[in-house]
Chain A
Amino acid sequence: MAVMTYIDAINSALREEMARDDHVFIIGEDVGKMGGAFKATKGLQEEFGVERVIDSPLAEGVIISSSIGAAMEGMRPVAEIQFADFITPAMDAITQQAAKLRYRSAGTQTCPLTVRVCYGGGVSGGLYHSQTNTSWFIHTPGLIVVAPSTPHDAKGLLKSAIRDDNPVMFFEHKKLYRSVKEEVPEGDYTLPLLKASIARPGKEVTAVSYGYTLQLTLQAAEKIKQQFGAEVEVIDLRTLAPLDKDTVLESVARTSRAVIIHEDNRTLGVGAEIAALIAEEAFDCLDAPIIRVTAPDIPAIPFAPPLEEFYMPSTEKIVTALEQVLRY
């Protein structure tokens, strides 16, 4: 075990996977000599050479489409999208090609690629360096969408993503990169890709989240316990698509209350899907309305601190929502 930051965990997963399998290569903007905008690929070009850590042209479309082709030909590309805000030039490649290739070829042509996407706000990044757009990809069947919330999960899930035979969108919250540290096994381990985890067991209300807001939700759960003595069960989705429905529903069947928290916009966010799912399959289990704590439906995160604060879910906002369903 070693104490690692989230970014260390990503770097260590990449290094170990590249050493394990020489089909694994990295492609993206500034990933080579510079080691990536956030240093996720630091030292890897030195270690594995320019052929396996490719500084791409500034062209997200072909970063992804070349990864798709290489994956079809047996390679295991790990593409980096420097900021989720700039993923749009690659939308055709991701949603029309990567997501549909297996389907349109009836399983005869496939592209096992991993797309690492740096996302998220709360860092004064402004409109174009803060976005959370996971919903676009959740809404695209054929993609596995992963968004780990801890260093331990980040390493284990990234390794699984690289080894998985499906295209995986791997969302890394930039605020988590250096803000959380924990013990992470040094050697090889993987985590199952399609499984949510129970980050904190409880029996009075289920709080569902992922990524950075999962950390906020854990803080909120602790406050609720201290203030009200109530036990919040916190579910870390880990994978947003396809969703581990059963872990969520099984929890709601026990707690009878649900709050969903995410940093993506409210409308058609994963919270909307989970709320609908609970209504469809676990309606009789509910003792209170479902509440969502999400970003508002505004185009992006504005820069000035009060504006950004207004946008972001916070521990206080989550506590208020939990309190509301508990008092219902």
Chain B
Amino acid sequence: MATQIEVPERLTFPSNCETVSADMRIPEPSLDAALLRRLYSYMLKCRTVEERIRNQFRQGRFSGNYFAAVGQEATEVGVTIDLLPEDTIAPSHRNFITHIMKGTPLNLLFAQIYGRNTSPDRGRSSPAHCGYAALNIITPASTIAAQLNIGTGIALAYKMKRVPNVVVALSGEGSTSLGLWHEAINFAAVHKLPMLVVIENNGWAESVPVALQTAVADISTKALGYGIPGATVDGNDVVAVYRAAQEGILRAREGKGPTLLECKTYRWYGHSEIDPAKYRDPAEVHEWKRRDPIPRMEAYLDQRKLWTDEWKQELLAGFEKEIEEAIAFAEASAFPEAEEALDHVFSFSIRDRELHRKTWEPVLDQRR
């Protein structure tokens, strides 16, 4: 059962977690048709891109690892669609696909996966850790809750500069156990910072189930302890996520402070591409696959005569073409030069002194 908790300023989030297992119906929204169709097509694009990335990894086309959010698209799309270019996304390891909603070109994303010199960070961060300065996506550290913490400062600067921008921070339920998480939420609450703090509760932090992470049923109830609004929504219902996120984002833009939004969802695959996830009950995985956010939205759009299989195939063909081009771009791009490893440590170059050891001779005439 989801809990709608008492908060200083109560929100009206449509918390429909209860309805998920009953009939998996998406609630009647008052969203316009074009938006509904875009929510759907973004989910489809994210799924298509990530399944392709996984495939590329299995084929050994890139090294490292990847953290797929397959199964979690409703959350990823619902909280990041329609942000302004000046708004910031503070992503974690599992939020690579939020780039798609923000508008980072697919070419750059595949160059990132491939570690090439055309990627936003010129091959520095590992594949799923991608930032993009031009669209205010923080280049993520792997440290859990790090970008949420940095995001508080970006939000503080927005507030100081009196601009109506927001920071959307995403992290998993595992992040909420860290002291760092607490410091960030508390600080954002005290200073009424323009933030939407999204907890993607996918039930697992690597092999650790959520019950060993927290003793609360709904992570959003933690909001109460910080004096901010919180809500839990069905993270596989893109409309519910979107409406809740919009409410939080609006509050933030209006200077009313941060909102904690928990989206209950599930990752279909292992923690990463090298994790067979043997620790999970196959029945659990099966049940969550039944709640796949994409067919649910299809059924809903179909009811409203907003979906045809033809349109879907058209979308898929478009995505495939874009992906092919992006892969070709990435594979044609060079790796960075080895000595570039010495660049961007500081605002000035350290190459010269690092590469050339000096030899000093005694200055004899000055000796005792």
Question: What residues make up the interface of A, taking CB atoms closer than 8 Å to B?
Answer: 25, 51, 56-57, 59, 61-62, 65-75, 77, 89, 92-93, 96-97, 100-110, 141-142, 144, 164-166, 203-204, 242, 245-246, 249-250, 252-256, 280-282, 284-285, 287
Q: Contact check: which of A57, A75, A104 meets B157 at CB < 8 Å?
A: A75
User: Is B255's beta carbon under 8 Å from chain A?
Assistant: no
Looking at the complex, which one of A96, A97, A110, A249 makes contact with B358 (CB distance below 8 Å)? A249
Identify the closest chain A residue to B131 (Cβ): A105
- B187 and A281 contact, CB distance less than 8 A: no
Min CB distance A207 to B, Å, is: 16
**With A109-B133, A109-B139, A285-B361 as contacts: A103 and B154 at CB distance below 8 Å:** no
Of the residues B139, B160, B361, contact of A104 by C-beta under 8 Å:
B139
In contact, B183 and A61 (Cβ under 8 angstroms): yes
Chain B, interface size category, equals 35 or more
CB-based contact B346/A89 at 8 Å: no
Write the nearest CB–CB distance from A18 to chain B, whole angstroms. Answer: 13
In the docked arrangement, what's the CA distance between A192 and B367, Å?
30
Of listed B184, B343, B368, residue having the most chain A CB within 10 A: B368
A102–B344 contact, CB under 8 A?
yes
A61 pairs with B157, CB closer than 8 A: no
Please name the residue on chain B nearest to A56 by beta carbon.
B187
Q: Which of A69, A252, A253, A255 contacts B155 (CB 8 A)?
A: A69
Q: Which residues of A contact B154 (CB under 8 A)?
A: 69-70, 72-73
Q: Do A59 and B183 have beta carbons less than 8 Å apart?
A: yes
B184–A108 CB distance below 8 A: no
Taking a contact as CB atoms under 8 Å apart, the answer to whether B152 and A66 are in contact is yes
CB-CB < 8 A to B184: which residues of A? 62, 65
When distances are taken between beta carbons in the complex, the residues of chain B under 8 Å from A73 are 153-154, 157-158, 161
B33 within 8 A of A: no
Query: With A51-B160, A203-B366 in contact, is A62–B360 under 8 Å at CB?
Result: no
B146 close to chain A: CB less than 8 A: yes
Residues of the A chain whose Cβ atoms lie less than 8 Å from the Cβ of B346:
102, 142, 144, 166, 242
For window 178-204 of B, CB contacts with A under 8 Å fall at: 179-180, 183-184, 186-187, 190
Given known contacts A166-B347, A256-B367, A61 and B179 CB-to-CB distance under 8 angstroms? yes
Asked if A61 and B357 make an inter-chain contact with CB atoms under 8 angstroms apart, the answer reads no
